[in-house]
Amino acid sequence: MYPIPAIDIIEGKCVRLTQGDYTQQKTYNEDPLEVAKAYEAHGLQRLHLVDLDGAKAKRIVNHKVLERIASRTSLQIDFGGGLKSDEDLRIAFDSGAKQVTGGTVAVKAPEVFESWLQRFGPERIILGSDVKAGKIAISGWQEQSDLELFPFLESYLKKGVRYTICTDVSKDGLLEGTALQLYKDIRTEFPELQLIASGGITSMDELEQLREIGCYGAIIGKAIYEERISLTELEQFVA
């Protein structure tokens, strides 16, 4: 299982929100590249980079940050936040993203998301399946759809999706633990899906449990910044 550190960007800086609330914002570092290099130095191979300005603006905004990290590290970057159009996708891939995550577009413009799957292949397109009270949350978690999680996943599996990042919004940023039972249920129902767990991961013990469940990856954000999980521990986990 890949431990995947997250860098969330607002105005070019590393921030974290609590439960996706833009009014509960904390800046941790002015330089995302510095943070990314530290991850790389500790043997981490992947990075989840989120353009929070883009999520709000409904278009890619912080592609220069993506380009800077991609060109100066060897990290495999999954980029998300505000990707709505073919042009957004072109900019993301041209800027160095290895994969992109689409959540809102998969709900509001499924024909666009499906065309991405067909053109770029399921290895490069990740389905964002963020969930709040059992329903898919979109638009940077500012909006809740009427779609329930399991039927949503099932419909996109049939369309060729192989990877999904599932965040339990109620857990995100609280450092109170992750939704282990939810991920167990997804793995049981959809064993062929490469599941990336996200939201609330607070301890190395949780990472071990997610690995035992069979998750493909686990995204860690605030726990690293708040030193609940050290980069040395993650380095040993990878080794």
Task: Give catalytic residue positions.
Answer: 8, 130
CA–CA separation, 165 vs 24, rounded Å? 23
* Residues 149/129, Cβ–Cβ less than 8 Å: yes
Specify the DSSP element, H or E, that contains 157: helix 149-158
Asked if residues 109 and 136 have their Cβ atoms less than 8 Å apart, the reply is: no
Torsion of CA 124, 17, 227, 179, to 10 degrees: -70
| Residue type at 114 in one-letter notation | E
- Check if the beta carbon of residue 5 is closer than 8 Å to that of residue 44: yes
Residue 171 φ/ψ, nearest 5 degrees: -95, -20
At position 15, the amino acid (one-letter code) is V
- Cα four-point dihedral sign 168, 174, 179, 183: positive
**For 125-147, b where at least 16 C-beta lie within 10 A, e where not — what string?**
bbbbbbbbeebbbbbbbeebbeb
* CA gap 52, 221 in Å, rounded: 14
